[in-house]
Structures are given as structure tokens and as C-alpha cells.
Amino acid sequence: MSLFEEFIKEFKALESKNSEQLENISKLVNDIGSSLTKPYMYASVELSEAIKKLKIRAEEPMKVAITGQFSSGKSTFLNALLSKNILPTGITPVTSKVNYIRYGDEFSIMVRYKDGREAFFQVENIADFTDQRGAAADDIDYITLYAPLELLKDIIFVDTPGLNSQSFSDTTATEAVLQEVDGIIWLSLIDNAGKMSEAEVLEKFMHSYQNKSLCVLNQKDKFSEEQIQQTSEYVERSFKKYFAKVIPISAKQAVEARSNKKEALLEESFENALKKLKKSAAENGYIIEEQMLNHAFDEFKKQSAKDSAAHNEALLKESNIEAVLSFIYQEIQPVAMSAKEFAITQDIKLLIETLLEQEKRIISIHEEIENILQEYIKEALKTFDKLKTGFTKALNESFLKIEEIIDKIAAEILSKKASSQRVRYIKAKAGILSSKEVFTAYKYEAPKIHADEVYKKLFFDDDLIGKMFKQYLKSLEIIQNEVNLQNAQVFKRLEEMVLGWQKPYEMIRKNKPLHSDIQFANIRRFASKSYENILKPFNDEINNSFAKISSEFKHVGSLVKFNYQNATEVVVAFLERRIENSIKLYEENPTKFSIYEPKLDEIKERLRTAFHMYELENLMRSNRSFVGKNYDRLAEEFAKIGKDRTELILENKSEYVKLKDKLISLLSVV
């Protein structure tokens, strides 16, 4: 077992108290994640991905970022921690991408490209992807190195490009990493520590990470103990607001002292030699007994280990690398577990609150149209009542115009009444001796209506009544058109209100990635069907009203239009017959019967009957006129439709109310 592995073993006891906490976090994430991704939640791809990341984060070890200014030896330091020369090193900023270093069953690297592709490669090829001097780096998003090292079961290291890189994107990537990791190791060279350039970088990027940051001063092997102590104390004083602790180390000594140094070096040399030998054998067609070579090499390694163990242990202690691991396990890990639980809990709350915001927004969209509909129905009923009053008055005035025409006809009939000289004969008593009948003539006055003159005046020469009725029918048509226009305006008002609501929502898109694409697609569909869902029943009722009103006005017009001349003739003929009948009776018995004399009121009454004025009065003048009935029916139907459409909206909204209640209940258990 290597010295690093022995050191790690000492701190395994710390993990037992964290395991239950970790299990609780994982269970919470799994339970909430399962609830949020139920089919009825219509989870977005982004939400599913966020939950997946939370699950990984809940189960994965703590993350420790290695950062600092370029050429501070970050890659060398990580190689020392990993006990293997994996990451490329150099005097220029070599690491151009964020590198995640995780535990794996074997050494390999996974390259994540900017277009979403992932590819695995041999660990020997890592420089092709991490070194900014390589051409392939531009297309890469990040790199993950997998290594079968015990240390990586507890820690994920994140190698960053640094905070003073010439590349803006590199600096931005590093800033993002610092926010998500549990601990930060700031690596600085001892002879560079505390300089103004470093202070500016720390103030700009590290001012909020003091509680999880460690300052590691590298290359202590180049300085005396006094120099190291002075520099460490100066950095502690100067940068105490940035770091919890300052530790001087020698990454170089740690690399040299890595577990079983000679064996590791020999193993690397042997692996490289064996590869070359295999290649040469394949080219020349001979077979290598690899098993025999491996056995001989193992025996040689055992002997080498005995010679170097004591030297390695002393050198490792001298490097002070163990102090870094001690800080990670004793300081960062306990805080990291609490921070992880808090952060994951907060992230879960944020997920739920984001979805809750979505449901509340969708509910508010439904409530908008619900309120619009309720407001409109109240407005429409008031409008119908007002129109009913107005058009009932207009219809009553229209009826009175017919009365005026009747008065005109009656007056004209009466004006054409004249007196005619008539003679009646009464049998007189003859003389006693006379056998002849003797009659005595008596003159009297009898009324006579000049019908031809009435008709000529009213219907033929002047066509006085015809003109009056034509004008009347036009006024009736104006009322009819105004009724239908006003009714159409009532619907248009609703149409404007609904389409005003519809416009922003038929094109609505989610404004946060976690929101549901399907739910917002459903809202767009619901809004786009506003005519079918809301407007059509009201429009159908207005059209139905249009047909009924038009039919009623047509009926009234027909009663008047085709009746006025005939009705007048009927009344005149009646009057003439009655006069003649009264004359006959008078002549037969003048003492008992009188001659009928037409009066204006009687003529009017006869005309009213002939003009069907009682039917017209019932249609046009009563409180239950056909216009009044129309508005009563419209008000009743609009109220019914409004209730029905509101129920439809509420039914649609209820799905989102249930989701909101579900999210609130989930939020209460986080």
C-alpha cells in the first residue's frame, strides 16, 4: 500500500458519519426527481437533465478545484496527488480546458465536444486535448480523466486553465467552476506569492470563497525554512480574507516521492519499452513471451521497492503534501457535506419554485380569460338591458307612427263624407170614394262617402298614404339594422377582449429552460382555439338573434305594407254598407230607426281593426315586445354560455391547479 493510500485510510473513519447524510440527500433527490418527472408533469428535457445532474451530484464525491495563475505548477501538483505523471506540464499555460479527474476502473479520458459528442481515448493521448498548444483544443468543451486511484473515490479534482489566462473563455470557465466546487486550492509559487498582480486576481475572483479555499505555496524545496515561514506568514496576513489556511509544499518532491517511486518509474519505462517491442515484433513477424517478461520485471520491482521505501517516505514528508490532504479531509470535506446538503436542497427548492412559477403563470393565464369572460357577461347583460329599453322605446314610437297614419286616413275618409238629398214616400189615406193609393213624398238628408275621392287622394294621384308607409318601412328597417348592428357590437366587444388575451399567448414560449415545453404548447393550443372554445357559441347566438329579429321585423313590415290600401277599402265599404242599411231601416220606420252618421273615433277604430293594430301593438308596444323578448332571450343565453365557457376554462385550469398543489406539497417536505 502506498503512503498516500495509508494516509487516506486514516481518514476513512470520517466518512461513516457522512454516509447517512449522503444517503438522505440521495433519497431526497430521487424521491423529488421521481415526482417531478411523472408523465402528468410533462417534464422538459432540461428539467430531466437537471435532476440527473442533481442525482450525480448527490452521489458523487466532493469536488476540489486546483487553480491559480499560470505556470504555478498546477499540473505538477495534481500529478503528485495522483501518484502518476498523467497531466502534461510546461512553462507555458498548458491546461486550456477544464479537466475533471474522477475515479474509474482503469485509466482513460473522455472528451466532451462543444457539439455534444463524447469520445474515449487512451490516457497517453491526454496532451492532445488538454495542451492549448494542440490544434484539437478549440472544439472541446471539457475533459474527464478516469483513474483507478483510491484517492479519487473521495475527491474529484478539477484542473482549471487559471485566472490570468490570455483567453477570456478560459477565465470564464474557471470562474464557473469555482462557484460549483466544494473546495478550492489556490496554487502559487513561493517567490511570486503576495505580489500585486496576484492580489488583483484574488480580489477580482476569490473574494467570496474564503471558507472553502486553501492557499498552497509551491516550490518550497527551493527556499530555506526561514524564507518559507516568512512568506507563509506574510501571505496569511495579507490574504486572510481569501483563504482559510496557507500551506507551503514541494510538488516536485511529492512527485519524486510518490508511492513506490522506483517501481512506478520502472513500470512506466517497462510499459513504454514493451509497447515498442510489440510494435517491432509485429513488423518483423516474431512472437514475444510477454508473460515471461512480466514475471522477470515483477521480481525486479520487489527488490527495488525495498531499496526506495525509506527514502520515499522521508521525501514525501518533506514535501508537506500530506498537509494538503489533511486540510481537504478535515476542513473541506465536513463543510462540503453540509454545503452539499444545503446546496442540493436549495437547488431542489429552486427547481420546484421554478416549476411552481410556471404553474402559477399558466393558472394566471386561465384566470385572465376567466375574468375577461365574467366581466364581459356582466357588461353584456347591462348592455342588453339598456338596448332593450332603447329599442322598446323606438319600437313604441314606430307603432305610434302607424297610429298617425291611421288618424290621417280616418280624417281623409271623414273629409270626403257629404250629405245627399234623399226622398222617402209615405202612403197617405185616400178619400172614401177614391180607389187609388196616395203617397206623400218627404225629403231628408243622408250621409254619403265619396270613396273614389278617398282612394284618389290617399292612393292614386297624391299617393299620400303610400309615401307615408314607404317612409315608415324605411324607419322600421333602420331600427332593425340598428338592433342587429348593436347586437353585433356586443359580440365584437367580446371578440376584441378575447383576441387581446389570445395574441400574446398563442405564441407564448417558456422563459426558463426548466419549464415544460408540452405545457406551454398546450397553452398555445388553448389560446389559438379561442374562437372554438369561447367565441363561437356567443357568435352563434348573435347570428340566431339576427335571424329571429329579421323575421319579426319582416312580419311587422308585411302586416303594414300589404294591408294599408285593402284595410282602407274594407273600412270605407263597411261605412257605406252601414249607411245604406241605416237608410233602409229609417225609410221603413223613421220613428224607430235613425240614419247612421260616421264618427271619427269609430272610423279610427275600424281602421285599427283592419290594420291588425292590436296584433301590432302586442308585437311592438307592450313590455313583452318582440325586441324586448329578443333581449331577454339573449341575456339568458349569454349567461348560460358564459357559465358553460367558464366551466370549460376552470376544467382546463384545474389540471394546473393540481400540479401547483402537488409542487407546494413537495416544497413543504424539502
Is 71 within a domain? no
Q: Phi/psi at 583 (nearest 5 deg)? A: -65, -45
The 10 Å Cβ neighbour count of residue 113 is 13
Confidence of residue 3 (pLDDT cuts 50, 70, 90): very low
| 117 touches 292 (CB < 8 A) | no
Confidence of residue 114 (pLDDT cuts 50, 70, 90): confident
Is 641 within a domain? yes
- CB within 8 A of 9, min separation 6: which ones? 1
Is 563 within a domain? yes
- Give the per-residue pLDDT at 251: 85
- Work out the percent of the chain whose per-residue pLDDT is above 90: 33
SS3 35: helix
| 128 touches 96 (CB < 8 A) | no
Q: Which of 103-117, 162-176, 599-613 has the lowest mean pLDDT?
A: 162-176
**How far, in Å, CA of 133 to CA of 74, rounded?**
17
pTM value is 0.65
Q: How many CA atoms within 13 Å lie on the side-chain side of 244?
A: 17
Q: Which of 174-188, 281-295, 356-370 has the lowest mean pLDDT?
A: 281-295
Confidence of residue 491 (pLDDT cuts 50, 70, 90): very high
| 453 touches 471 (CB < 8 A) | no
Is 510 within a domain? yes
Confidence of residue 179 (pLDDT cuts 50, 70, 90): confident
Kindly tell me if the per-residue pLDDT of 651 is higher than 90.
yes
Q: Which of 238-242, 383-387, 407-411, 654-658 has the lowest mean pLDDT?
A: 238-242
- Give the per-residue pLDDT at 260: 46
Residue with cell 495542451: 131
**How far, in Å, CA of 142 to CA of 177, rounded?**
11
Kindly tell me if the per-residue pLDDT of 467 is higher than 50.
yes
Confidence of residue 91 (pLDDT cuts 50, 70, 90): very low
- Give the per-residue pLDDT at 376: 96
Name the residue range of residue 561's domain.
351-669
Q: Is the dihedral of CA 577, 580, 585, 590 positive or negative?
A: positive
| 402 touches 465 (CB < 8 A) | no
SS (H, E, C) 367-407: HHHHHHHHHHHHHHHHHHHHHHHHHHHHHHHHHHHHHHHHH
- Give the per-residue pLDDT at 124: 79
Instruction: Give kind and range of the element (H or E) at residue 277.
Output: helix 261-284
Kindly tell me if the per-residue pLDDT of 90 is higher than 60.
no
Q: Which of 77-91, 521-535, 602-616 has the lowest mean pLDDT?
A: 77-91
- Give the per-residue pLDDT at 303: 54
- What amino acid is encoded at 550 in this protein? S
Each residue's pLDDT tens digit, 573-591: 999 999 999 999 998 888 8
**How far, in Å, CA of 71 to CA of 46, rounded?**
38
Each residue's pLDDT tens digit, 305-360: 555 566 677 777 888 888 888 888 787 777 777 777 887 888 899 999 999 999 99
- What is the pLDDT of the chain when averaged over all its residues? 83
Calculate ∠ Cα 215-217-223, nearest 5°: 155
Grid cell digits, residue 77: 501538483
Kindly tell me if the per-residue pLDDT of 158 is higher than 80.
yes
- Give the per-residue pLDDT at 261: 47
What are the C-alpha distances in Å from 471 to residues 405, 477, 557, 561?
A: 11, 10, 12, 11
Q: Check residues 117 and 170 and name the one with the higher pLDDT.
A: 117
Grid cell digits, residue 131: 495542451
Each residue's pLDDT tens digit, 636-647: 999 999 999 999
Number of domains observed in the structure of the chain: 1
Is 659 within a domain? yes
Highest mean pLDDT among 164-173, 229-238, 271-280, 422-431: 229-238
Confidence of residue 432 (pLDDT cuts 50, 70, 90): low
CA-based nearest residue to 426, from 410, 414, 437: 437
| 667 touches 347 (CB < 8 A) | no
Is 137 within a domain? no
Strands 183-189 and 213-218, sheet pairing: parallel
Is 596 within a domain? yes
Q: How far is CA 443 from the centre of its chain?
A: 101
Q: Phi/psi at 416 (nearest 5 deg)? A: -95, 15
Is 159 within a domain? no
- Give the per-residue pLDDT at 272: 64
- Give the per-residue pLDDT at 374: 95
Q: Phi/psi at 100 (nearest 5 deg)? A: -95, 130
**How far, in Å, CA of 605 to CA of 574, rounded?**
12
Each residue's pLDDT tens digit, 370-391: 999 999 999 999 999 999 999 9
Across 238-244, average pLDDT: 84
Each residue's pLDDT tens digit, 196-219: 767 777 877 776 677 778 889 999
